[in-house]
Structure 1
């Protein structure tokens, strides 16, 4: 277990936490989103040294949000997309001069709704360069671009139940997961509002899909987290049956994250308050076939993977994680944000 865990009380439940994409240097800034307040916030953070010469996060700007912040994704160095439980999606800009601030660049109000006036939560979004795809409790899929105000495409009845997660596999293909555990691949080039492929998260137990992540360099390799704490792995090139399944966390998986530069490292967090680092470096070094992710086969066998708990289990849900090089950020319902430095990658 990593001992270098630094916590900072922030007086709000953290739903999302994301490193800023720094230019030519280590990350020095990040943003957080909150939930469960009358007025929530997206906050902009930097690091300053305290009296003991230790770096601690300091809030330098905040942007009010009506509704819960449900997702945030950076699309450039200073622009990111944020969604809310009231069906709104915004492109926001981090401004540093003449003073730190968060500015609204564009907004799509009520882009998720049950009727013309009743908002539905935008439960998840994914980005591919300047393109944005959103899903919500209304079963709707919206394809947006940061460069125009109107949606590029909307699939009104993409699903008959709530969609919980979405991921861009490539520019023309997305993967969605719903509350019943149905995973659907959508070809955005098709004029038909029907999925190209439908697969099940689990044949044994019915559980919702809560999070999706694809391998950074091999996007056909997908890992999905379930409401029962399970992890399921697919190779979408070959078949619709999972490569492997694992009963991982004891409760719902909040987020799954591959390390961008070292993808043999996978990170998962759960509403059970657990944060795990899955490492397969040794197997990866021995495997000369770099065209396939055979190490992911081992996710079904913990004996072949090094699984490390990065912190003492919290008594509250860990909702969000992000990593830059060897530094992990995570946010929790205990109204604190945490930083773990010098992760063994």
Structure 2
């Protein structure tokens, strides 16, 4: 690995890692969530400077026991975040800094997802839009929640015949879901009927599940989906549901995709094959997205216009999660370690 990567062994497989948002300054603290333990943890980290080499390294501020695997972590404000679990429960937690940093449960939606013959099903993914929260699960159910009340705003049962793996808010009243069969569905939450407004397929060439979704930070209709076969697929959902770009990327399932929040010509992806890649299309940043042929990823098929860089040596375990703020990227792995990459080229 390159010299700007620092790994920290934490004795837990890392399922999720998320920067804590700050106002107008660089993020200095973050959360990790674990999986595959009898009792898992959400851990709050910050950076401490080592006097010997004047370098900053992650240190634990506090840790919170969590029942079930942590399947997602999403901040909805500077100190409030939502955590979902493999037992179908979703919690709204607050980080209280004074007098000592600790977690306080604000709301808990217990067993939102469950099978008829079981007490629970995994809540596989959540997405947030301001105070609104949408959840999907192995039971094929969609739940719309708000951080202001205990009762779900809406539940769409049997919205899918199989497990849903990912969900993303396209706008305040619209969400996109992806399932085990690679079916992509757009749901208009203003519609009282429990049917999708649009349905399309992740890949017309091969049957593969949708494993991850990400929207462009300023153009939410531009969506990238990761597949179980390692592929990346891009849509401009304003025009049609035929992919703008589709490419073979990782050698196995895509775990997560992240646009850089401030420089969206940079995309990052990680996979269960232990790969972490940086996609950069800086040459096309001045082109307008509104013209049909200038989307920053539709030129992947042309030679030399998108730079793809491996950010670390391929690990022997899955890389499950990534997050980026300014010039620092975090990622977590099944080798029971989390990593910090500083001074990334964006």
State whether structure 2 residue 29 is matched by structure 1 residue 7.
no
* Structure 1 partner of 2:306: 305
After TM superposition, the score normalised by the length of structure 2 is: 0.97
* Structure 1 partner of 2:186: 185
Verify the 8 A CA contact 2:283 2:305 in the aligned structure 1.
Answer: no
Q: Whole-Å Cα distance in 1 between the matches of residues 333 and 302 of structure 2?
A: 29
Verify the 8 A CA contact 1:2 1:309 in the aligned structure 2.
Answer: no
Aligned-residue offset at 1:291: 3.5
| Aligned CA distance change for structure 1 residues 302 and 86 (closer, same or farther; 3 Å) | farther
Verify the 8 A CA contact 2:273 2:316 in the aligned structure 1.
Answer: yes
* Structure 2 partner of 1:197: 198
* Structure 2 partner of 1:316: 317
| Aligned CA distance change for structure 1 residues 329 and 189 (closer, same or farther; 3 Å) | same
* Structure 2 partner of 1:93: 94
- Unpaired runs of at least 5, structure 1: none
Aligned-residue offset at 1:284: 1.8
After TM superposition, the score normalised by the length of structure 1 is: 0.97
* Structure 2 partner of 1:30: 30
- RMSD of aligned C-alpha atoms? 1.3
Aligned-residue offset at 1:300: 3.7
* Structure 1 partner of 2:43: 43
| Aligned CA distance change for structure 1 residues 40 and 274 (closer, same or farther; 3 Å) | same
Deviations 1:205-248 (A, max 9, x none): 00000000111111111110000000001111111211111000
Verify the 8 A CA contact 2:87 2:111 in the aligned structure 1.
Answer: yes
Aligned-residue offset at 1:26: 1.1
Q: Whole-Å Cα distance in 2 between the matches of residues 302 and 270 of structure 1?
A: 24
Q: Whole-Å Cα distance in 2 between the matches of residues 236 and 309 of structure 1?
A: 29
Report matched runs for 1:192-231 at 5 Å.
Answer: 192-231=193-232
Deviations 1:65-107 (A, max 9, x none): 1110000000000000000000000001111100011111110
* Structure 2 partner of 1:111: 112
Verify the 8 A CA contact 1:20 1:77 in the aligned structure 2.
Answer: yes
SS of residue in 2 equivalent to 1:104: strand
Report matched runs for 1:1-345 at 5 Å.
Answer: 2-50=2-50, 51-115=52-116, 118-285=119-286, 287=287, 289-292=288-291, 294-301=295-302, 303-345=304-346
